Structure 1
Amino acid sequence: MSCYTCRNTATTHKNIYVVPREWQALNHLECAIWKLHSDHYHTNQRTEGFRVYADGVTSHLEKYNNSLWLRKACDYAEKPDPKKYYSIFVACIYCN
């Protein structure tokens, strides 16, 4: 699968990921999320089922509006709470 947003392989764009605030102190979070998500996609040929465990917090990937939400396993809210989550920019896994 290729990225529909950018057809030129020389350029890339970034996606917004909404992640748990507990991860703010982690170094190189954007790179780690990209690597884990990219590896998951290349292994499974889909993004469904992508989960991350970091710093004692387990989360799973869901689409939310125009972003990707790494929702905590115990969070049943319909949308991310700004007090519990923040946004990061991660390079597109299809472009790189």
Structure 2
Amino acid sequence: MTIVVIHGPPGSGKTTNASTLARFHGVSVIVDDGACMGQRFPAGDALVLTTRSPDEVREWQAQSRRFGPLTFVLIATALKIVGAQPPRGTRKLAA
């Protein structure tokens, strides 16, 4: 199971670059928790976009009774890896 969690502030390019990030990580399911509040944590391979802290994501996973390893990637690092830029007007993100 591959769960990649991309986290960063609102407007940092998570949703804009979701398809590129999902392809890079080899997953086809994208869960944007800002758009899906109250949804259960994904059960299989997925890219999770969030503003939540790693501890909050782990709590969401536990409350959904989903278990498995998570890979956390800061949005600035994720964008750098795939060669994408943050949206215009976004202050420079620390990698």
The reply to whether TM is greater than 0.5 is no
Could you state the TM-score of these two structures normalised by the residue count of structure 1?
A: 0.25
The structure with the larger Rg is: 1
Flag the structure with more relative contact order, 1 or 2, with Cα contacts below 8 A and sequence separation at least 6. 1
Say which structure is richer in helix. Answer: 2
Could you state the TM-score of these two structures normalised by the residue count of structure 2?
A: 0.26
